[in-house]
Amino acid sequence: MVKALITGGAGFIGSHLAEYLLAMGQQVMVIDDLSTGRIDNLAHIHNHPHLTIVTDDIRNLSALEPLVRECDVIYHLAAVLGVQKILREPIRTIEVNIGGTEVVLKMAHRHHKKVLVASTSEVYGKGTKFPFSEDDDTLVGATSKMRWAYAATKAVDEFLALAYHQETGLPVIVFRPFNTVGARQTGQYGMVLPRFVKWALAGEPLQVYGDGSQTRCFGNVRDVVDALYKLAQEPSAVGQVFNIGSTEEISIKGLAERVITRTKSASVIQYIPYDQAYEKGFEDFVRRVPNIAKIMGTIEWKPTTLLDETIDQIIEYMQKER
């Protein structure tokens, strides 16, 4: 039986991945410090005989190393994320995202384990060539703007992971998710779609930052974890970087309108200047669209869940939660 270790496994993507791998007959070990993850995310599988949950910081070697020693593959998802959290805790963001990845890679190298390292579409920064392809140049903002700290730390994570592969032969795969969404995602740290659904269900105004013309592509978490599983099985994926996401592009204003329609809500759209929502001089992406030709060609994967279906899944989940 394959044994998988998921760092950040009580988080949104991590909990869905744990559920998926258990369904595929694997044994799953989760380590999470619960700073953003929640044990409730694992409640439906908590008593599964092939699931082990460890509550600890991945930088704690005494907790992490026994798990790495025992596993066959590591899915490294643990990170500080969410724009609002990053702006509030920039020191922790930098230290956890880089330091945590460093520890995971060292342990993986010591015990000869395959690692899938989560990066982010944010590494493309203010790039203007669309859609974003894995080998495109990246352009992040000035270091005086903490908004870019997350993108910079994840870029360092990528460099470090690929350096381990190049120098030591460590089997590493890097993936860049594009706005992964679905049930169990919280809007607490700035994730836009669950916040929109929550406000619409409560009949409150949907707060759109800026003029709402910025566009995004929202990938369903079920499609994303399917891609991760298949990447882990594919030998030719080792040493490479892959975009994962949907190519169904929508403006944030259009997303708000879509949520209001799907929830049959009487909510209205309220436009909030970026300076008021985040900080003075805040910079945002105009577009964020992935080129997924590489992953489609490598593992014959493509997203299958339309945005309306994803929105409906989030609505159903939040209605149950209420």
Q: Which residues does the annotation mark as catalytic?
A: 150
Structure tokens at 108: 């993986």
Handedness of CA 33, 147, 219, 297 (dihedral sign): negative
CA-based nearest residue to 125, from 57, 60, 176: 176
Cα separation values, 293 from 155, 192, 224, 296, Å = 21, 26, 15, 5
Q: Are 268 and 205 in contact (CB under 8 A)?
A: yes
**Strand pairing of 73-76 and 114-118?**
parallel
Tell me the longest C-alpha to C-alpha distance in the chain. Answer: 58
CA–CA distance, 244 with 43 (Å, rounded to integer): 27
Please list, in sequence order, all residues whose beta carbon lies within 8 angstroms of the beta carbon of residue 196, skipping any fewer than 6 positions away: 187, 206, 255, 256, 259
The alpha carbon of residue 198 and the mean position of all alpha carbons in its chain are separated, in whole angstroms, by 20
Please list, in sequence order, all residues whose beta carbon lies within 8 angstroms of the beta carbon of residue 176, skipping any fewer than 6 positions away: 119, 120, 121, 123, 134, 241, 242, 243, 244, 290
